Chain A
Amino acid sequence: MSKFNFPFIKETNELSNLRKEVREFITTCIINNEFRPSPDAWVFSADPSFSKKLGSKGWLGMSFPKEYGGHQRTALERYVVTEELLSSGAPVAAHWIADRQSGSQILRYGNEKQKSSIIPRITAGECFFAIGMSEPDSGSDLASVKTKATKTKNGWKLEGRKIWSTGAHLAHYMIVLARTSPASEKNRQEGLSQFLVDLSLPNVKITGIPDMTGQRHFNETLFDNVELSDDSLLGEEGKGWKQVVGELALERSGPERFLSHFTLLDSFINEFRNSLIYSGTKIVGKLISEIQTLRRMSFSVASMLQNGESPETQAAFVKELGNKFEKMMIETLREFSNIVPLHEWPNQLQNLFEDATLRIPSNSLRGGTTEIMKGIIARQLGLR
């Protein structure tokens, strides 16, 4: 079992300088009260004007080609920027999906018109995306989607429902996985295609679904015979499954899989540093060792992406380990309350802790469940 390596990648001086630059920018924003650090900010905290600001700094679409307004920088540079944004709890939700996966997906599979009309706007922080994968009856079993696209004289007619789409109410587009021909008996993964759907089209109806924290980020989107133009097809007809699998590697391997609640850990340590020196060195050491290992692995995957490899399995490793770490971290902090009782924690820290506790069940569901990650790994080990 030495198939899945995560080669060591060094953070060069250029990368460290970029890190510093982003950090200074964020510090200034916090001082100027432009945002308040929040947990799970890449899902919950959307601020289009902040996204635009990042765009003007050149920190969105970093690896996209210059001809589409991108910056032709490396996936490692993008990695460093995302780490800094996540660890500070900056409001990045508006552009997150577009910058992380949709833009790359369009660059890889899109036609010229799709690229030139959309990519420059993503890079500027002006165009946001939602994911159109899950449906009311298709969660983990993604190949069972029923949303259907039928060929018409002028293009396609889209019919069906997508669900759990974070930020669809703010997004301009959704990449929708739909069936374009019936599934064959043997291989259900055939006959699926991806579509680039403008969410402002007639007959698209987006309804919010409050999650258990009471906040809205989830949506259900109804496509009630939506007329799509011919060039809404993204990539090749019938190749949607292969395309979507590549997209998931981008979705699963990033530092959001272990830094979603870093602001909580940071505040916790700042508050209790002195008591931790006496009674919590071990727990702090454990957390440090886990974060550093995850950072190493995720950085290594970024380098694989940079080299044009397809690290879908490695991405599953990072996600699985990252999800486990975040749950362990919250449990660890909770247990510390035998040293300083929870009700004596400063209010703001109590809020962060309660937020994290409420939100943590979703971390091993979104982007593919633990069960799916383990299934992917088992398949690669030759067990399925």
Chain B
Amino acid sequence: MIEELEIIIETTSKILQKHVNHSLRQNIVSENTDILNLWNEIEKNGLPKISVKEKFGGYEISFFSILPLIKIVNNHGTPLPLSETILSNYILSESDINPPNGIVTFATNTKNLQIKNNMISGEILSVPFLNLTKNLLIVHEFNNVKKAILIDEINGEIIHKKNFLAEPRYDIKVENLNIAEMKPIKNNIDFNFLGAILRSAQMIGAMEKVVDLSINYCSERKQFGRTLSKFQAIQHQISEMAVELSASSAALSTITELGLSEKNSNDTAILKIRAGFAAGKIIAISHQVHGAIGFTKEYELSYFTKNLNSWRNDFGNESFWEEFLGKRFLKKNNQNLWEYLT
């Protein structure tokens, strides 16, 4: 399986290397044939169903083992919801729903959801790339039962389109929309945890790119007669980015190895806190060392930093997970901190 994954990672890198460029990122619409061609290429290689059960036509590789792939997809700044599709399809498959072909996006949040006669109404919030697909996964709890809901003909009133982010995102209001499939989710699948893990892996992939862009830029740009990289003040700032990034990667490798279980749910919190914090530092420093060019639309840095800004807020920001972690420990009155940590 590991070998299989390595081959998949290699092919994916080649595809992305060939197709993804910054002009593609500036025109993320379904009329853009380059966008559609890229998706077709990705789908042909089976990536969207990499963590889907074999009986539904997937590779059935654990969602946690493929996190390095998620990292690479976002390291290339791929302007498609491949990461969202992989997670949505995984959750659908684990809930025994056959995932549809094509792009599947998810609702990051919902408001006032109601279900009647297999129809859904309410507000579906912060849906990435809704302009590229009709397939949507909603995870929602009704009467203490968590359910996976698949919509395959989404339409509704757009109440907010978020343009300040690199990726298109939509809030929509739907009324009596048909549900394609709805099934209870297994206990061990927690959308908020999985989403936090997904966004962290995406952030780490993007942060690797941002650090590389900064290193390259500073090694070429000359001021006062030498490259920026020769200034100690610049070297130290870039080192700080590297330190933050390496700590986040270490936190991610824990999840890649251990997955997610009751026993190690703290590791998800640690990962999201670590990656979110690092993203804050790395956004600020990378823009600082890039100067004005980094602040332009034409240069690719901002595609990554805008995404970082939105991902660090999805599925709980640092404060949310810090409280989760702190509360969890403090309520265990019989354990001192060291016992708890070890």
Contact = CB atoms under 8 A, between A and B. Distances in A.
B1 interface: no
Contact of B341 (A10, A277, A292, A382): A292
A255 B254 CA distance: 18
B325 A288 contact: yes
A281 B245 CA distance: 25
A285 B212 contact: no
B322 A286 contact: yes
Contact of A383 (B215, B266, B267, B323): B215
Interface in B317-342: 318-319, 321-327, 329-331, 333, 336-338, 341-342
Given A269-B336, A269-B337, A284-B325, A297 B247 contact: yes
Nearest to A319: B243
Contact of B240 (A297, A374, A375): A374
A377 B218 CA distance: 15
A265 B337 contact: yes
A283 interface: yes
A1 B212 contact: yes
A137 to B, nearest CB: 21
A111 interface: no
B257 interface: yes
Nearest to A292: B270
B341 A317 contact: no
B322 A289 contact: yes
Q: Which of the listed residues A1, A284, A294, A297 has the most CB atoms from chain B within 10 Å of its own CB?
A: A1
Nearest to A16: B342
B254 A1 contact: no
Interface in A367-384: 371, 373-375, 377-378, 381-384
Contacts of B212: 1
Interface stretch (B42-50, B95-103, B231-239, B290-298): B231-239
Chain A interface residue number, banded: 35 or more
Nearest to A284: B326
B322 A295 contact: no
Contact of A378 (B238, B245, B266): B238
Interface in A285-318: 285-286, 288-297, 300, 317
Given A8-B258, A383-B229, A378 B239 contact: yes
Contacts of A266: 336-338
Q: Which of the listed residues B211, B218, B250, B266 has the most CB atoms from chain A within 10 Å of its own CB?
A: B250
Contacts of B208: 1-2
Contact of A377 (B242, B323, B333): B242
A42 interface: no
Given A5-B253, A6-B250, A377-B243, A285 B215 contact: no
B249 interface: yes
Contact of A289 (B218, B235, B269): B269
A6 B336 contact: no
B215 A1 contact: yes
B325 A383 contact: no
Nearest to B228: A383
B326 A281 contact: yes
B215 A288 contact: no
B336 A289 contact: no
A282 B250 contact: no
A381 B238 contact: yes
Given A270-B336, A285-B321, A374 B235 contact: yes
Contact of B329 (A5, A284, A371): A284
Contacts of B92: none
**Those 4 A-B pairs whose CB atoms lie nearest each other, nearest first:** A285-B322, A285-B326, A281-B326, A285-B325
18 contacts: A4-B242, A8-B254, A269-B330, A269-B337, A273-B330, A281-B330, A284-B325, A285-B269, A285-B325, A286-B322, A289-B273, A289-B274, A293-B250, A293-B274, A297-B247, A381-B238, A381-B242, A384-B235
Given A281-B323, A377-B242, 17 more contacts: A6-B246, A7-B253, A262-B338, A273-B330, A277-B331, A283-B322, A284-B322, A284-B330, A285-B321, A285-B327, A288-B329, A288-B337, A293-B250, A296-B250, A381-B242, A382-B219, A383-B230
